[in-house]
Amino acid sequence: MMEIQITCSNCGSGIEVIPEHHAHSVDCHICKHVTPVNFTHQHEEGILKECPVCSRQDFYKQKDFNRKIGVVLFVIAAILSIWTYGLSLVALYLVDLLLFKRLSMVAICYKCQTNFRQVKNMAELPDFDHEMNDRIVYSDHDFKGKPLSH
Ligand SMILES: [Zn+2]
Ligand SMILES: [Zn+2]
């Protein structure tokens, strides 16, 4: 199931939602601001083509590295490395490579910063593009899902 994290436009809190096409709005737990959403059967199937919040089609993907877990693991590995002669740091590097760099990706909407996890068509989504970001955020340009080709 696709996991969606909406950024509240009023207070900036992250709101976790599961796509359900009967749901038409999401309430912020912090400030009670209501965000209208438009989920489709595609979203329920984990396919990301259109943003349920701003209905744009421009997304980028990036590594979904959980910093808190990363820091804790690094501290543990660094302490253990005293007894393992640095092997624990090598192990951490491999864990990082396997778990975080390859498996976890997050798709993000340029326009409204909504995060999408467990996206089935993640491989189709492009990496972050500074020019696109600037044009969407500052000039409100709509690329309609067709990334810039350099
Ligand atoms: Zn809020
Ligand atoms: Zn959006």
Tens-digit pLDDT string for the chain (150 aa): 899 999 999 999 999 999 998 889 999 999 999 999 999 999 999 999 999 999 999 999 998 866 667 778 788 888 888 888 888 888 877 777 666 555 678 999 999 999 999 999 999 999 999 999 999 999 999 999 998 876
Size (the chain), residues: 150
Distance from residue 18's CA to the centre of ligand 2 (Å): 15
Cα distance between residue 82 and residue 149, in whole Å = 49
What pLDDT, on the 0 to 100 scale, is given for residue 95? 74
- Residue 24's domain spans which residues? 1-64+105-141
Give yes or no: residues 51 and 8 share one domain: yes
Give yes or no: residues 2 and 52 share one domain: yes
pTM metric for this prediction: 0.77
Contact 24, 37 (CB under 8 A): yes
Contact 38, 69 (CB under 8 A): no
Distance from residue 23's CA to the centre of ligand 1 (Å): 18
Cα distance between residue 8 and residue 32, in whole Å = 9
Which amino acid, residue 33?
Answer: H
Give yes or no: residues 54 and 6 share one domain: yes
Distance from residue 4's CA to the centre of ligand 1 (Å): 16
Give yes or no: residues 52 and 114 share one domain: yes
Distance from residue 13's CA to the centre of ligand 1 (Å): 5
What pLDDT, on the 0 to 100 scale, is given for residue 150? 62
CB atoms within 10 A of CB 116: 24
3-state secondary structure of 130: helix
Distance from residue 59's CA to the centre of ligand 2 (Å): 8
**Beta strand pairing status for 105-109 and 115-117?**
antiparallel
